[in-house]
Amino acid sequence: MTVPTQINDHAELALDDVLSQFDDSEKLRKLVEIFADRVQEREDVEYDVLIGTLLDNAVGVQLDVYGRKVGGLALSRAGRTDDAYREIIRVAIQINQSDGNAEQAIQIVASLVGVTVVYQQIHLAHYSLHWELATPSVQQFIDDLNSQMPRITCLGSSWRLVEGNSNGDGMFRFDSGPGFDKGKLARRIDTL
């Protein structure tokens, strides 16, 4: 949403618009100034309300309203700070606007995990997303991510989610290519 520019000088603008034949009429100019001041007060209040309800500035109940509107991941606010919940709402908006292409899937999952995500096409309607984290994801996050994958992916496509542990813990998986000496420690977290 484009935020309109706030006008802070309604009285001056209104007085500038008074016809020149009334320049000497103090009563008319004072009346115009009184009406313009009321307009200024109303704009100031309405602008504050508008700015306060934008996602970047929303807090508490206002964020809950955004969460209800966007649905999906944003429904699970439990224990999140306003800043963390705001980020989840942004991701839910991305999911709602997604048409299932690979770039959007990469961007959405990267926003959720907070690190670079690597996309690998397995075959025509199957792909894999890989990333590495220092600490493994908690089960609640994995469940939330898996519940949103059908909304992120094109209808008829399937996916595989692989989370590697950059500290060297986890399950073994083979990289593409021959040989048993190549591979990374990782675990598959998608629900089959």
Same domain? 131 vs 107? yes
Instruction: State whether 104 and 192 are in the same domain.
Output: yes
H-type alpha helices, 54-122: 61-70, 82-97, 102-113
> Domain containing 79: what range?
63-97
User: Based on the structure, what is the number of domains in the chain?
Assistant: 3
pLDDT at position 183 over 60: no
pLDDT digits (tens, 9 = 90+) for 108-165: 999 888 899 999 888 888 888 988 888 888 888 888 888 888 888 888 888 889 888 7
Query: Structure tokens of 172?
Result: 């073994």
Quick one: 108 and 192 in the same domain?
A: yes
Could you say which DSSP state residue 56 is in? T
Do 143 and 164 lie in a common domain? yes
Q: How far is CA 185 from CA 17, 128, 152, 169, 181, in A?
A: 73, 16, 26, 6, 12
Whether residue 140 sits in one domain with residue 69: no
CA 17/CA 22 separation, integer angstroms: 10
The overall average pLDDT reported for the chain is: 83
Same domain, yes or no: 132 and 168: yes
User: CA 147 from chain center: how many Å?
Assistant: 18
* pLDDT, tens digit (0-9, with 9 covering 90-100), for 79-94: 788 888 888 888 889 9
Task: List, for residues 24-61, the tens digit of each pLDDT value.
Answer: 899 999 999 999 999 999 999 999 888 888 898 888 88
48 and 85 inside one domain: no
Whether 42 is in a domain gets the answer yes
Structure pTM? 0.65
Same domain, 117 and 181: yes
> Are 185 and 124 within one domain?
yes
Residue 7 and residue 160: Cα distance in Å, rounded?
A: 52
Unique residue bearing structure tokens 């991510």: 145
Q: Please indicate, yes or no, whether residues 106 and 161 belong to a single structural domain of this protein.
A: yes
Residue with tokens 């964020």: 63
Mark whether 104 and 90 lie in a shared domain.
no
Q: Are residues 15 and 49 in the same domain?
A: yes
C-alpha closest to that of 109 among 163, 165, 168, 188: 163
Asked if residue 76 belongs to a domain, the reply is yes
